Amino acid sequence: MYILNKTKSEAGQYPALESWPGLTAPAGFYWWPDSLDRSTFDQYQGFVELEVARGTVVSCAPNMPAFEAWQAEQLAARKVERIAESKAQLSDYLLCHPMQWTDGQYYAITAEKQQQLTSKIMSATLAAQTAQPYALTWNATGEECQAWTLENLTALAFAIDARVTSLVSYQQAQEVAMREASTLEALEAIPVDYDSVPLPGGETA
């Protein structure tokens, strides 16, 4: 036999049915006879209206307003989680996928490295404008710094910016789709695959 706790949550949800070896339900519980179908209770996650006679559940019908409100809360919470996950995945992707440049070397494309690169270029530009000596250097991933011309390092910066912009645009598009999802099933079906984002030149990672 099964028993059901009489106490519902604030949202109107009954807890899960429990198996019970006794012949009568304990205090605070309804008796749920084996002959009563459980499918409605399970389908609506305990958001149901019960007809009870002498402590025994006789019938069960969905409590649609409570169930739909709960679904909306679950969907909203999961949207926040999935969007945060997509942003965290993007940060991880940038860290783990340096970009290969025309010299065959790989260069980091994280937000921190982009800021450092921009600062280097600004300093070199200012030095050139004021005729000040400046040793412009940059390093490939895992390598020591090497001398660069301002023209070549600027070209690298633009290429990194283009790659990162395409990845950020993809994340933003998926985020919009997540915000617009009307069901949990639709939300979970939205992919986040940064490898699918084309590289400069049309290839994929």
- Digit-coded pLDDT (tens) for 28-46: 999 999 999 999 999 999 9
CA neighbours within 13 Å on the CB side: how many for 116?
11
Rg (CA), the chain: 30
Supply the pLDDT for residue 22.
85
Rounded to an integer, what is the distance from CA 130 to the centroid of its chain?
47
Supply the pLDDT for residue 204.
54
Supply the pLDDT for residue 199.
81
203 confidence band (pLDDT: 50, 70, 90): low
Please tell me the distance from the alpha carbon of residue 77 to that of residue 11, in angstroms, as a whole number: 15
pTM of the model: 0.82
Whether the per-residue pLDDT at 111 is higher than 90: the answer is: yes
CA neighbours within 13 Å on the CB side: how many for 87?
10
Q: Which of 196, 20, 177, 102 is nearest to 5 (CA)?
A: 20
- pLDDT per residue over 119-177, tens digit each? 999 999 999 999 999 999 999 999 999 999 999 999 999 999 999 999 999 999 999 99
Report DSSP letters for 45-76, one per residue.
TT-EEEEEETTEEEEEEE-HHHHHHHHHHHHH
The dihedral sign for the CA sequence 37, 38, 44, 50:
positive
Whether the per-residue pLDDT at 64 is higher than 70: the answer is: yes
